[in-house]
Amino acid sequence: MFRAISALVTVSSLLIVAVVGWADEPAKNVTATEVRATELAKAVKDQKGKVVLIDCWATWCAPCVKKFPHLVELHKKYSEKGLVCVSLSMDKFGDEDAYKQEKILKFLKEKGAVFPNFIVTEPKKDEEALMKLLGDFSAIPYMVMFDRTGRKVWASDEMKLTDEQLDKKIEEQLAEKP
């Protein structure tokens, strides 16, 4: 009887270790790259043939933090169908002295953001170029979508969408062929 219980405890312990290790695995694949506007534009252009959804956010923005899990859900739901979710941290648009890349990376790992994550590295120098690429992102959270040809087709400052409406918009774009 003792051996059976001991064996059961050992197997249970191994399963727990395996599940906990597996749960941490996606977080290991989360990275955050500092970029200038030209590098971000190239990253979007490199996704030609896919629908790209960029979420502009910051760790100091409570509404951004609250909304971010929906981006992760969109990635899980639509990445296999051709959606590329991109997070763009605007943390340096706040207090640049308070900026900590580790804080952003910790947040992204906690949320399971296993998609391209970028941090605007020169916000003041690149503001005009970012406006040209993304639109008026001055009020975050801000999202922008590019179709399969790389053309901007929606931005949250132009039309507010509920989560359900955003899902529908994504589905419409994914249904279109380039």
Per-residue tens of pLDDT for the chain, all 178 residues: 434 444 333 333 333 333 333 334 456 789 999 999 999 999 999 999 999 999 999 999 999 999 999 999 999 999 999 999 999 999 998 877 788 999 999 999 999 999 999 999 998 899 999 999 999 998 999 999 999 999 999 999 999 999 999 999 999 999 998 6
Amino acid identity of 123? P
Contacts of 29 (CB under 8 A, 6+ apart): 114
Contact of 63 with 141, CB cutoff 8 Å: yes
Query: What is the pLDDT at residue 96?
Result: 74
Query: What is the pLDDT at residue 27?
Result: 62
Closest to 45 in 3D by CA, of 1, 84, 100: 84
Query: What is the pLDDT at residue 7?
Result: 39
Phi and psi dihedrals of 82, rounded to 5? 115, 10
Q: What is the dihedral of CA 133, 63, 160, 120, to 10 degrees?
A: 0
Query: What is the pLDDT at residue 24?
Result: 42
Contact of 33 with 112, CB cutoff 8 Å: no
Q: Which tokens hold the place of 65?
A: 């933090």
pTM over 0.75: yes
Query: What is the pLDDT at residue 106?
Result: 96
